[in-house]
Amino acid sequence: MRIAVAMKPVPDLLQIRMKDRRPVLEDVPVVLGAIDRSALEIAVELKEKTSGHIVVLMAGDGRLEDTVKEALAAGADEALLIRDARLNGADGSLSAHALAAGVRKIGPVDLLLFGEGSTDNYSGQVMSRVSEILGIPQAGYVRDIVVEGETLIVTRSLEDEEEILEIRPPAAFSVLSEIREPRIPSVTAILKARKKPATVLSLDELGVGTGSGAGVETVSTLAPMTGRKGERIPSLEELVRVLRKEAPGGGA
């Protein structure tokens, strides 16, 4: 089975500071999204069961060669990096066109995997857009994938129900982080990742035109005002008093 996993380079959220309510993104290391790592893990499992092949697709504007090494160490076989200044802060539509063009470039794939949402933006629309562009069936919020002959049996986990779906490849899925716990790569795997092929292409080289963005414009991004006073409670007695005062029902 040929599997493509779309992995988004995201700023390491733990290292973002706020200055005047604005996020400071300079010098923040770029890492793989947490949920994308789980998507790669199920891909590796399916690859091992079906003697398959995994290509990582990554679209962004930074130094993707370094970021993708973690994915190559964790079991991907090769990478297609789509690097373009236009992808800086791109909306989901442009990313989707870039990724769909990437899938076409690497040739037929049976399975296209995504995280259910990126750790930074969490808009969860890229998988759906790519599926439409490629004209393939999709399932979101997948908790498990099993291969049954020619068919994929996937469990989609919604708020109040779970659906067991039968889908024939090629198909695209977005997975939940609980689908698999991402492995810790071994030293050998990390060092070997250096030798795995990673191709870099620009949007022009992939034939993604300038009209592909869907014009979502960001007016502002600010940390919310909290306006909470953080009053220190000095003693357990005082804590009990505050709890009684603030409890909506008056606290027993």
Partner 1 sequence: MDFQLTKEEQLIQGAAREFAEKEIGPAVEEIVSSNRVPEEILAGLRELDLFALPVPEVYGGAEAGYVCYILAMEQIARVCPGVAVILSVNNLAAAAVNIFGTEEQKKRYIPQGTRGDTAFSFAFTEPGTGSDPKQLAATAKKDGDHYVLNGTKRFITNSSYRGPIIVFARETETDQVNAFILDKFCEGYSVSEPWNKMGVKGAPLHDVYLRDVRIPAENVLGGLGKGFWILKVAMALGKIGISSIFLGAMLAAYEDGLRYAVEKTHRGEPIAKFQAIQMAVADMFMKYESCRWMTYRLGSLAERAKDKGDILKDSAATKIFVTETAVDVARISMGIHGSYGVMEDYRISRLWKDVIFGPQVEGVSHLLKVLVAGEILRK
Partner 2 sequence: MTEFLAVAWKAGEVPELLGAAGTLGGGDETALLFLGGDEEARQAAARWGALHRIPGIETRLADTGSVAGALAGAQKALFAPVVLLPSTRRGKETAGRLAQILGAGVLTDVHRMERGEGGAICCHRYALGGAAVSVQRIGTAVQVIALDPGSFEAAPERGPGPVNELSVPLPEGSVVLREARPRVRDTVDIAAADCLVAVGLGLDRKEDLALVERLARAVGGEIACSKPVATDRKWLPEDRIIGLSGKKCRPALAVLLGISGQVQFTVGIRDAKTILSVNTDENAAIMTLSDYVFIADLREILPELAGKMDAGPG
Ligand X SMILES: Cc1cc2nc3c(=O)[nH]c(=O)nc-3n(C[C@H](O)[C@H](O)[C@H](O)COP(=O)(O)OP(=O)(O)OC[C@H]3O[C@@H](n4cnc5c(N)ncnc54)[C@H](O)[C@@H]3O)c2cc1C
Residues that bind partner 1 (CB under 8 A): 66, 69-70, 73, 184-188, 190-191, 193-194, 232
Nearest approach in angstroms of CB 101 to partner 2 is 14
Burial class (CB in 10 A: 0-12, 13-18, 19+), 193: buried
Please tell me the distance from the alpha carbon of residue 39 to that of residue 68, in angstroms, as a whole number. Answer: 14
CB closer to partner 1 out of 2 and 180: 180
Mask for 122-141, x = binds partner 2 (CB under 8 A): xxxxxxxx-xxx---xxxxx
Using the rule CB under 8 A, is 180 a contact of partner 2?
Answer: no
From the list partner 1, ligand X, partner 2, none, partner contacted by residue 194 (C-beta under 5 to 8 A by kind): partner 1
Mask for 96-125, x = binds partner 2 (CB under 8 A): x----------------------xxxxxxx
Give the range of 1-9, 15-23, 51-59, 195-203 binding partner 2 by CB under 8 A: 15-23
What are the Cα distances from residue 117, in Å, to 30, 140, 212? 17, 10, 21
Phi, psi of 246 (to 5 degrees): -85, -20
Joined together, the tokens standing for residue 230 give 């953080």
Scan residues 22-81 and list those touching partner 2 (CB under 8 A): 22-23
Nearest approach in angstroms of CB 236 to partner 1 is 16
What are the Cα distances from residue 210, in Å, to 97, 104, 128, 158, 218? 11, 18, 21, 36, 18
What are the Cα distances from residue 219, in Å, to 45, 48, 75, 84, 222? 42, 46, 39, 23, 10
Nearest approach in angstroms of CB 207 to partner 1 is 30
From the list partner 2, partner 1, ligand X, none, partner contacted by residue 139 (C-beta under 5 to 8 A by kind): partner 2
CB closer to partner 1 out of 1 and 34: 34
Amino acid in position 243: L
DSSP letter (8 states) at residue 236? H
Polymer length in residues for the chain: 252
From the list ligand X, partner 2, partner 1, none, partner contacted by residue 134 (C-beta under 5 to 8 A by kind): none
Note the residues at the interface with ligand X (CB under 6 A).
34-35, 119
CB closer to ligand X out of 120 and 144: 120
Joined together, the tokens standing for residue 92 give 């989901």
Nearest approach in angstroms of CB 245 to partner 2 is 9
Nearest approach in angstroms of CB 233 to partner 1 is 12
Q: Where are the beta strands (DSSP E) in 33-150?
A: 53-60, 78-83, 111-115, 138-148
